[in-house]
Structure 1
């Protein structure tokens, strides 16, 4: 079971990198698009970060569900799954922004994107509190 925990944590780290980095990269991509009017290296990097972290997110979620199953579905793990689902929804919304950005559509402001980027931090803090303290 320990190797599943290691796999889970490694994949969570990679997924969190994508969750935190992709919205911020969209800001730089938007600025590059406004300055050059073309698809540049920032867009390519943003897409690569998103795609790479997507696979890691799937593995993180599946391994997390397996661990919860092994532990007998304690209440804290069910609450954690709910928070992870919210993070996954945030990540899906980010994917929508990436798809629109590929078409050159940047309707959100830099400020909106920065706030959107920070929302995921609260989800990550919630997951950490649940895993460390196991309050339920």
Structure 2
């Protein structure tokens, strides 16, 4: 038995923990964008810049990286998953989350430069995308519909 197979459940447990951390950050960051876009005072805007930067760099990105590494280890432990349709669908949705993470970075940089022209209403809708992707990912992993 390989090291990966022996530790599969530990890897899986920490993968889930890191995904939960990543999703928490990905759900909260656009909510900060909502408040930042609606802020009318410079003190408030500067506070949001700090909060957004710390959330993105301190929680969102490290937990995303850990999720990806642990997910790759899980795939290495059970390579037959790559021949199943549900895994391909899941990975496509994970790619969507990665793109969303990148979009958050783009908006973070715009806010840092005081150059974001999107409204708080835009960010309220923007905040819904990761919820839909997470639902799809969980359904693929648990139900394995194909």
Where do 1:1-136 residues align within 5 Å?
1-32=8-39, 34-36=40-42, 39-51=45-57, 52-72=59-79, 73-75=82-84, 76-136=86-146
Post-superposition shift, 1:17? 1.0
Aligned mates of 1:3, 1:74 — CA distance in 2 = 23
Q: Give the conservation status (yes or no) of the 8 Å contact 1:19–1:91.
A: yes
Size of the aligned set, in residue pairs, is: 135
Unaligned runs of 5+ in 1: none
Query: RMSD of aligned C-alpha atoms?
Result: 1.5
Unaligned runs of 5+ in 2: 1-7
How high is the TM-score relative to the length of structure 1?
0.91
How high is the TM-score relative to the length of structure 2?
0.85
